[in-house]
Amino acid sequence: MPLTMYEASVPVFIRAFGNLSAILDKGLAFAEEQGIDPAELVQTRLIDDMHPLAAQIQRASDTAKGCASRLSGIAAPAMEDNEATFADLKARIARTVEFLNSVPAEAFEGSETRPVVMGSRTTSHTFEGKTYLLQHALPNFFFHVTTAYAILRQKGVPIGKADYLGPR
């Protein structure tokens, strides 16, 4: 049986969010052990023109729930982007995973050829579903997950590739 659009998206997002949540636990533990205000880590950026850790988690969440919504036709829950603590970020991840778990695999049937329109106020771009997933949603999601990992790593949080990849 060929790989489905559901299998290539929802379980991938959920696994990465589990790993990211565990990485956040290590970030909070590190802050507490080192006497660092956890809020400082939540607002840390890799460089001035990049978004901080909180926004990286928010964008990963938005990408995953937006992808599942666009491919399944099921509306994603709105989230306010007001997370300011590690607990808030973990709750955002949990709410995103809860939504992803609620989307049935059957809702993705036929989505590989379904048109997906992405746009802003000034422009729009239409993807075929498979192209949207493989060339936009997954790379964008992993950019933000990787950036969140890198922010914590560059602050000294003792995490590595095994944390990013998670348990087998």
Mean pLDDT value across the chain: 97
Share above pLDDT 90 across residues of the chain, in percent, rounded to a whole number: 94
**CA 26 distance to own-chain centroid:** 18
Q: Which helix (H) or strand (E) holds 14?
A: helix 10-34
* pLDDT value at residue 1: 73
DSSP letter string, 25-86: HHHHHHHHHHT--HHHHHT--SSTTS--HHHHHHHHHHHHHHHHHHHH-PPPPP------SH
Q: What is the per-residue pLDDT across 38-66, written as a single tens digit (0 to 9) for each?
A: 999 999 999 999 999 999 999 999 999 99
* pLDDT recorded at residue 157: 98
Residues facing residue 117 across a β-bridge: 126
CATH superfamily membership of 10-107+129-165: dinb family like domain (1.20.120.450)
> What confidence score (pLDDT) does residue 162 get?
97
Tell me the whole-structure pTM to 2 decimals. 0.96
Domains of the chain, by residue range, sit at 10-107+129-165
As a whole number, mean pLDDT of residues 127-147 equals 97
Residue 94 has what pLDDT? 98
Of 148, 160, 166, nearest to 43 (Cα)? 148
For 116-134, the pLDDT digits (tens) are 998 878 999 999 999 999 9
What are the backbone angles phi and psi of residue 71, rounded to the nearest 5°?
A: -85, -25
Residue 78 in this model has a pLDDT that exceeds 90: yes
CA–CA distance, 157 with 88 (Å, rounded to integer): 19
Q: What percentage of the chain reaches a pLDDT higher than 70?
A: 100
What pLDDT does 99 receive? 98
